[in-house]
Structure 1
Amino acid sequence: MMKLTKFNLVSIILVILVILTVTGRIFSAPNLSDYSWILVFPLFAYLYYSQTKQTNHYFGFFLIGFSLVEILKIVFYGNDTMAYYVANYLVIATYTSLIIFLVKDFNFKLLFKQFKLHLVVLLFFNAYIIYVLNQMIMQDAQLSVYSLDFIIEVTYNVLILLVLSLSLIHYLYHETKQGLLLFLASVCIVFSEMVQVAYLFISSEYLLQIVYSALIGVGFYFLYEYIKIKYKATLKTTKIA
C-alpha cells in the first residue's frame, strides 16, 4: 500500500486538477478549466522547493513565473491590453530564466568542439521556424511590423525555440534521464506555443485549443517526472544521513 506522503498527496491533487482542466476544455466550461489550471503551477513550485533539496532558483523561477502568468490571466480578465503585456513580459522573463538554467554549467569551449554540427543545424532550423511563425503572426491585419506588439511576439518565438534547442544540447551534453525529461518537456511546451500562435493568429478552431492543452499538459507531466527524480534523490540522501 502506497504511503500517503506530502509528495503523493500533492501528486493526487495534481491529477484531479488536470482532469478537471481537460474536462473544462472539452465541454467548454472555461471557469472550471481556468481555475483548475491556475492551481497546477503553484503545486509544481511547492513540490520542487519543499520536497527536494537540490534546487535551482532559475528553474524555480520558471515554475513560479508560469504560476503567476496563469493567475494574472484571471486577475486581468476583461482587461485584454493589461493581461497581454503583463503576461507576455512575465513569460519572456520566465523563459529567459529557463535558458540560463540550461546553459549555466556548459563549458562553451568543449560545447562548440563536440557539437559544432548540431549547433549549425539547429541555427538553420530555428531560423526557418522563426520565419514560419512570423508569417503566422503577420496574418493579423492589426499587427504592424516593428510595433511593440510585433517585437514582443518575435522575442517570444525566439525564446521558445532557444529553450527547445538548448534543452536538446543540454541532454546531449549531460546524457542523463533528467536531461531527457527536460528535453521532452520542452518539446511539448514549445509545440504547444506554436499551436497557440496558430490559434490566435490564423484559426480559432476548437481542435487547436484541445491540442494546445494536451501538449502543455504532457509537457508538465515530464516536468513532474523530473521533479520526482529530485524527490527520490532527496529521500535517499535523508535515509543515508
Structure 2
Amino acid sequence: MVFSLGFIGLQLLQYEYCAMGVRALMLILLSFLYVVRVKNKRNFFFLFLLAYTLSDVINFITWEYSTEDGGFDYYYLGNGLYILSYLFLVAKLLQSIKIREVAVKLPFHVLILFILDCFCVVIVTNTTKSELGVYPYVLEFIYNAVIMLLLTLALLNYIHKDDKKSMNFLIGSICIVFYEVIQLAYFYISETNILNVISSVFLVLAFVFLYLQSRLVYSERMQIANS
C-alpha cells in the first residue's frame, strides 16, 4: 500500500513536470505569435511576455534542483521574474491612464479599492505565514501586492475608458488573480490536483484575454477625450 501511494505520488510529480514543460512551450509560442501577428506592438506587453516566459522556462529547467537543499534557491529568481512581468503590465496601464485625472473623477472608488487591496493582500499572504520564513513571506507579500495593484489599475482603466480593449484587460487581470490565489491554495493549503487544473485554466484564459486586448486600440471616442 505504501509502495502504491509512493508510485502514485511519483506519477503526479511527473505529470506536473510535463505540464510545466507544456506551459513553457505554449508561452514561447504565444510570444512568437505576438511578435509575428501583432502589428502595433506594445513594448511593456512584450516585456511582460518575455519575463513571464523566461520564468516558466527557468522553473521547468531547474525543477529538480529547486526542490533540493543547498545551492542557489530558484524560488527567488522565478518569483522575482513573475513580479517583474506583472510590473510591466502595471507600467503599461500607467502609460494609458492619467492617474491624477482618474483620482479626481473617482476619489471614492480609488479609496475603497485601496482599502480592499490592503485587506486582501494581508489576508491572502497570511495564509502562508506558517509555511514560509521571513524572506519568502516578504517576497510573497510583494507578489500579492503587485497583483492587486494590477487588478485595481485594470478596473480603474475600464471604468475610465469603458471600451472592449480595457474590458479584455480587466478580464485578463481578474483571471490572473484567480490563478494566483488558487495556485497559492494548491501549494500551501491543499495539494488537491483539481486546484492545479483549475488554476491552469484561469492562466490560459488570462493570456487569451491579454493577447486579445493587445491586438486592439482604445476607442476613438476615448482617444479624443484624452487628447
TM-score bucket (shorter structure): 0.7 to 0.9
Match of 1:152 in 2: 139
The answer to whether the 8 A contact 1:139-1:201 is kept is no
Q: Which structure has the higher relative contact order (CA within 8 Å, separation 6+)?
A: 1
Partner Cα distance (2:16, 2:207) in 1:
20
Aligned to 2:85: 94
Q: Is the 8 A contact 1:41 1:67 kept in 2?
A: yes
Instruction: Summarize the Cα distance change of 1:136–1:32 in structure 2 as closer, same or farther, 3 Å threshold.
Output: same
- Alignment match, 1:192: 179
2:38: which partner in 1? Answer: 52
Counterpart secondary structure, 2:165: helix
Which of 170, 173, 193 matches 2:157?
170
Letter in 2 for 1:66: Y
Q: Which amino acid aligns with 1:75?
A: I
Q: 1:31 to 1:138 in 2, by over 3 A?
A: closer
Whether the 8 Å CA contact 2:45–2:89 is kept in 1: the answer is: yes
> Secondary structure of 1:98's match?
helix
Offset, 1:99 = 0.5
Report 1:3-42 matches (<5 A). 29-42=15-28
Unaligned runs of 5+ in 2: 1-11, 67-71, 218-227
Give the Cα separation in 2 of the matches to 1:105 and 1:224: 17
Question: Which residue, out of 98, 102, 105, partners 1:111?
Answer: 102
Give the Cα separation in 2 of the matches to 1:137 and 1:184: 26
| Aligned twin of 1:224 | 211
Structure 1 portions without partners, runs of 5+? 1-25, 231-241
Structure 1: distance between partners of 2:30 and 2:127: 32
How far apart, CA to CA, are the structure 2 residues paired with 1:118 and 1:49? 36
How far 1:47 moved relative to its partner? 2.3
Q: Which amino acid aligns with 2:120?
A: I
Structure 1 residues 109 and 35, CA, compared in 2 at 3 Å: closer, same or farther? Answer: closer
1:136 equivalenced with 2:135 (yes/no)? no
Q: Which amino acid aligns with 1:36?
A: V
Identity of aligned residues (%): 23
Query: How many Å apart are 1:48 and its aligned residue?
Result: 2.1
- Superposed displacement of residue 228, structure 1: 4.5
RMSD (Å) for aligned C-alpha atoms? 2.1
Q: Which whole-Å CA distance do the structure 1 matches of 2:58 and 2:140 have between them? A: 19
Deviation at 1:169, TM superposition (A): 0.9
Q: Over residues 216-236 of structure 1, what are the superposed CA-to-partner deviations in whole Å (9 max), with x where a residue is unaligned?
A: 122122123224547xxxxxx
Q: Alignment length, in residue pairs?
A: 202
Name the TM-score, length of structure 1 as normaliser.
Answer: 0.77
Name the amino acid aligned to 1:40: M
Q: Which runs of 4+ in 1 moved over 3 A?
A: 227-230
